Amino acid sequence: MPDTDNQASTPSGSPPPAPPGLPRPERRRRARWLPSLVWLIPIVAAVVGISLLVHTLTSRGPEITVTFRTAEGLTPGKTAVRYKDVDIGLVKSVRLARDRSHVVASIDLTKDAENFAVADTRFWVVRPRFAASGVSGLETLLSGAYIGVDAGKSNESARDFKGLEVPPVVTTDASGKQFVLRASELGSLDIGSPVYYRRVLVGQVVAYQLDPNGRDLTLRVFVNKPYDKLVTADTRFWHASGVDLKLDAGGLKLSTQSLVTVLLGGVAFQAPDHTTATDAAAENTQFLLANDQAEAMKEPEELAPTLAVLNFDQSVRGLSPGAPVDFRGVIVGQVRSIGIEYQRDKKAFRMPVVVELYPSRMGFRERDVEDRERARKIIQGLLQRGMRAQLRTGNLLTGQLYVALDFFPKAPPAKVDLDAPIPEFATTPGTFDQLQAQVGDIVNRIDKVPFDQIGQDLRTTVASLNRTLATADKLVQQLNGDVAPQVLAALQDARKTLTAANGTLASDAPLQQDTRRMLQEMTRTATSLRTLTDYLERHPEALLRGKPEQE
């Protein structure tokens, strides 16, 4: 008890008093606690994790969603988002939309790619593609598909995008201009079809759509720099698709830009040689897309030609819209339409052909009222001189026709009402129709020949000839049976006579020798007579007295 009381009286924290006879204990301060090396690894891991978390939070960009039609080539955690072959994001997840019509890909962009989250940025999946415009994405055969990006330039931020199913033909960083073309048909054009200037590739078709009216098309073409400066206000665009093969009244024509246009189609443009426009056209300027180069290069005044109607009473088979109107080798217009009209007064049909005439090609330029009056007088004078429209064959192979304007002096005078909505121009039958009429006249005359009577007379004559031939045959048989033996005997007798005559007339025959002696005697007799007559001429008295005796 004393000890207990003694301890209780000891102040708190002070050592108890030492027992008697023992040394007093020395009080020392306890040393600090040192952690064990086992705790070092968790601490390092925690520091690394915190640093990675901070790095991830600081380098993480916005999260966006892109919708695609399918999830082909998209793998969460593996499919990268690339811009110019630089990774700027990663696909986080891919899920199916509620209506199951598309998939939604969640993408985490990097901190440096924050400016890609704008309204006009475009995304698409890069995978191997084989299309008419070419082959792309072959590098993904080894590396796998990825999402391509076309950076937008809008100031409006966005988080939801609709992905493209095909890569864009022209990206926003491409240098050049876009132009709008108005066309009646697409032809063989497609997105990616080439655009040519004097057969040099300068751009491509980037888009097309059908207009709300359902009759026209709108195409957008992109022309690269510096060729975009070649597009002026007077530039003409036309289809250069495939092979332009024409077989018409003008003959066979073959035209093409290159082998690529034969397979894929294309567009060509060029300004007329006489153009004065030099300033480059502004972007999105609209142009008409002609069907071919000839139509595109028409003169401006030819775009509003003068209409005229030609009424033909003959067949127009072989004449088609677009056929040329020719004046002595110069094309001054073309056929617009061909119709048929019934004339009640004549109870016959005629073929009205509406043509487009280009007065400027014939030297008529209506600048003022005075010029129009002068042109009217000239036209009336030409008609009075026999100017007519005539159908002629332009191609013997195909039988295609064209309209020819020429002078026919024997044609009766004609007039034209130039104030009518569509003036009627005088016509004359074609040479082929005249030939047909002449042939028809000849056929009519041939029809009047009494072939039946001639045939009957011919049959009678043939029968008589047959009887004559039968009689002649009998006569020949009679000659062969009766006369021929007698003729043979006569010939044998004649042969004997000729043989005897040959023997008598031979050189050594007696008759020949006697004849020679007789001729010699006659020669001597003639000599004697000549001598006697000479003597009597000298001595005529010898006839009375006689020849005197010679001494």
Summarised one tens digit per residue, pLDDT across range 293-351 is: 888 887 765 556 788 899 888 888 888 888 889 888 888 888 999 999 888 888 888 88
DSSP-based three-state secondary structure for 433: helix
pLDDT-wise least confident of 397-406, 478-487, 523-532: 478-487
425 and 315 inside one domain = yes
Q: In what order do the strands lie in the sheet with 160-162?
A: 122-126, 146-150, 80-83, 86-96, 103-110, 60-68, 160-162
The pLDDT, as a whole number, for residue 255 is 57
Structure tokens given for 176: 């050049």
Give the model's pLDDT for residue 3. Answer: 47
35 domain residue, yes or no: no
Cβ neighbour number for residue 104 with a 10 Å cutoff: 17
CA–CA distance from 74 to each of 150, 167, 232, 235, 511 (Å)?
Answer: 18, 16, 45, 46, 144
Q: Are residues 182 and 150 in the same domain?
A: no
Closest-CA residue to 181 (of 72, 284, 48): 284
pLDDT class of 354 with cuts at 50, 70, 90: very high
Model pLDDT for residues 117-132, shown as the tens digit of each residue: 899 899 999 888 765 5
- Identify the domain boundary among 138, 162, 186: 162
Number of domains in the chain: 5
Q: What is the pLDDT of residue 1?
A: 43
In a domain, 156, yes or no: yes
- For the cut 60, the answer to whether the pLDDT of residue 531 exceeds it is yes
Q: Are residues 420 and 311 in the same domain?
A: yes
DSSP-H helix ranges across 83-170: 140-143
From 248, 276, 296, give the residue that closes a domain.
296
Contact 338, 353 (CB under 8 A): yes
**Same domain, yes or no, for 439 and 456?**
no
Q: Are residues 436 and 462 part of one domain?
A: no
Q: Is residue 132 part of a domain?
A: yes
Domain ranges, residue 215 = 176-296
One domain, residues 274 and 358: no
**Angle, vertex CA 476, rays to CA 474 and CA 477, nearest 5:** 65
Confirm if 81 and 90 have CB atoms less than 8 A apart.
yes
